[in-house]
Chain A
Amino acid sequence: MATPGKAIDPIHQFEVTPIIPIRIGGLDISFTNASLWMIVVLLASLGLMVYGTRKKSLVPDRLQAAAEMTYEFVASTVRGSAGREGMKFFPFVFSLFLFVLFSNMAGLIPGSFTVTSQIVVTFTFALLVILTVIIYGVVRHGTHFLHLFVPSGVSPALLWFVTLIEVISFLSRPISLSVRLFANMLAGHITLKVFGGFVTMLLGAGAFAALAPLPLLGVIAIYALELLVAVLQAYVFAILTCVYLNDAIHPGH
């Protein structure tokens, strides 16, 4: 690097820094850049739904059309993978979807902070989903919920093994749900930063500056891919939530 103190650091963007330091009884509850962007995301999703549907006109304007399309899309996802009964979880899935979608999107604004690139955030969401599944499943079905772990049509000799595997598989769900979202956002943003770093490094490398547009094109392509990934991961998060909720509604056969 040309200037030692000013190295290009692709991890720097994920640093949580306090904006307003608050300490209560030894607990650090500072208002950080993460909190700021969570509020931004919350206001943006609220804005889309509340401001977008304020007129309730028969012929929707652009914002209302966007709000209605999001609603219809999530509703059909929930109905498709968790059945009609799953619609009682629609507000839950819809809020999750909107929050994840908007934080992924807001993270793509240069200089912003990606809330979903922190595993604490995504794991909290995944725990929320799994705890909902467990609590609803037990309340609704009692011990019958445990049939989730005992597949039918397996020979008795293998049953204990398959059941053990099913239990571990259930435990792996919150992990895979959270790691997927977090890893996607983290990897994408690091790649963007690294390619951006290539541009500046090449510009400072004398004659090689002629090559600088190449990584710049790469950044543009990756940015387009990241837009796709941002929407896709929000969708995958929502649909897997529905699949897991479906298990709570209909465990076993």
Chain B
Amino acid sequence: MTNSGGGKDDDEALRRRLDRLSSRLDERNTRPDRNGDEVDVSASSTSRALSLGMRVLSEFVGGVIAGGGVGWLLDKALSTGPLFLIVFIGLGTATGFWNVYRMAAGSTGARGNSSNDARK
């Protein structure tokens, strides 16, 4: 609902302003460093370091626990003493290091190169 007293000049000015605004918006959105990623919580360096530290810890512990679990289950199924438990705890530790290495190398896996580009 435009004011009837305003006339054509106001419409013209309004349209020009809208055009200018939308072109500025387009420019902002297409700028390479500003594609919506920036608004995340991990923006501040403290919180990013905090979350990275917790991730390293849990990835490592997760690897060891998963390896031990697999070994324990194999031992239970095959009733082969503590053989597989020992072997798989070693493998699990290796997995833990591998997980941490992958994170440190900035990748979610040998195959995860595309995803890691998107996540910086």
Q: Provide the bound-state CA to CA distance between A232 and B119, in Å.
A: 16
Classify the interface of chain A: helix, strand, loop or mixed: helix
Contacts of B59 in A (CB 8 A): 172, 176
* Cβ contact of B94, chosen from A73, A165, A179, A250, cutoff 8 A: A165
Q: Provide the bound-state CA to CA distance between A253 and B63, in Å.
A: 24
* Cβ contact of A172, chosen from B41, B42, B65, cutoff 8 A: B65
B47 CB to closest chain A CB (Å) equals 5
Classify the interface of chain B: helix, strand, loop or mixed: helix
Interface size on B, residues (CB 8 A): 40
A122 CB to closest chain B CB (Å) equals 11
Contacts of A77 in B (CB 8 A): 40
Interface size on A, residues (CB 8 A): 45
B13 CB to closest chain A CB (Å) equals 21
| Complex contact B37–A228 (CB within 8 A) | no
Q: Which of A155-191 contact B (CB under 8 A)?
A: 164-166, 168-169, 171-173, 175-177, 179-180, 183-184
Nearest first, the 9 A-B pairs at minimum CB distance are A176-B62, A151-B110, A172-B66, A180-B58, A172-B62, A76-B36, A175-B62, A171-B66, A176-B58
5 residue pairs of the A-B complex, CB under 8 angstroms, read: A172-B67, A179-B58, A235-B40, A247-B115, A253-B113
Q: Identify the A interface with B (CB < 8 A).
A: 72-73, 76-77, 79-83, 147-148, 151-154, 164-166, 168-169, 171-173, 175-177, 179-180, 183-184, 228-229, 231-233, 235-236, 239, 243, 246-247, 250-253
